[in-house]
Amino acid sequence: MRTTTLPLRSLRRAPSCLLNPSSSASPTLQPLRCASSSASQAAAPAPATTPKPVYTKPQRTPTSNPPAAISNKSMRPGSRKGSYTFNAMSVSDVDTSLPSLPSAPSSSSNNTTSPSSYPSPAAASEFVAAVQSTSPALQNGNGDNPGAIDWSTSFHGLSTVAFDTEVAKILMAPLNKEDVEIKPDGIAYLPEIKYRRILNTAFGPGGWGLAPRGELVVGEKVVTREYALVVHGRFVAQARGECQYFSEDTIPTAAEGCKSNALSRCCKDLGIASELWDPRYLRQFKKEQCREVWVEHVVSKKKRQIWTRKDTDPQYPYALAMRIGA
């Protein structure tokens, strides 16, 4: 029997081939490695494997009514994957329940309304009757209603008719000198509550009112606002009131004083307390009913002259110091 002897060079490289089975230098030893590995795999139990989850791509459910211009997918030569071709709608795809679009007017019509678009005579008469049946109570207010009167700008009823004789006597009655007051600077005045009492006597409570004619104007030390005096739904007079204030906390009080000042000026047009604008009456009143005295400020201790009624002592913060011509 002939025995095959391996070359010495192959025997020297055999250990390296066993250590590195992936090497291709000794192909004769590969069957030995494969046989040994197969035997070891058969002897060792197979490890338990966990099945991997399988992802299923969701399928699109076609609708019964596809979009208007989308047709079946088709690939054109040279187009990208996922491109579509679109076809026009057919007459059967139109929803007959929708209203039809109005046709564009022709150039020959010259944008004129056809006689058929005018309202019928019956509809026009119904509209006129509805407007005429509006309650008179809704035609007087702040301008929210179609026939309302906006008293911020209106002069409705001005000088239409004179007041009754009985009302005129109440308005132009002579002043009671006991009701007239005088300021420290010598200006005679009638308290605002007296004007309101005269108006209530003449027209009754609720028969008159002050309507603002603008917003409240807040200055550096004074507030002003214009008001209109309205009596029984008639414009009577308007005037701008004013009042001083000393801090921002007193602005609401100054706004109320501004309203009272405007009322006293409006009442001048009705003849109420007209004597207070008569220079002769004022001189006679101050001579008979008033006096000028020296007073001392209780805080600053400063002395000055002020006017006061003869039957009234100086009020706080002044105290009587000495009299002049008493």
Strand partners, 203: none
> Is the C-alpha dihedral spanning 315, 318, 323, 325 positive or negative?
negative
C-alpha to C-alpha distance for 119 and 126, rounded to whole angstroms: 11
| DSSP 8-state class, residue 106 | P
| pLDDT computed for residue 203 by the predictor | 94
Domains in the chain: boundaries: 165-277, 290-323
C-alpha to C-alpha distance for 267 and 111, rounded to whole angstroms: 58
**Proportion of the chain in helix, strand, coil states, percent, rounded to 5:** 35, 15, 50
| pLDDT computed for residue 64 by the predictor | 52
CA angle, corner 314, sides to 293 and 326, nearest 5? Answer: 30
Q: Burial, 245: exposed, middle or buried (Cβ in 10 Å; 0-12, 13-18, 19+)?
A: buried
Report, as ranges of residue numbers, the positions in the chain whose pLDDT lies below 50: 11, 17-19, 21, 23-32, 34-40, 67-75, 108-109, 112-113, 131, 134-140, 143, 325-326
- The pTM of this model reads 0.54
| DSSP 8-state class, residue 79 | P
> Is the C-alpha dihedral spanning 237, 243, 248, 250 positive or negative?
negative
Strand partners, 239: 227
165-277 has which CATH code? 3.30.390.80
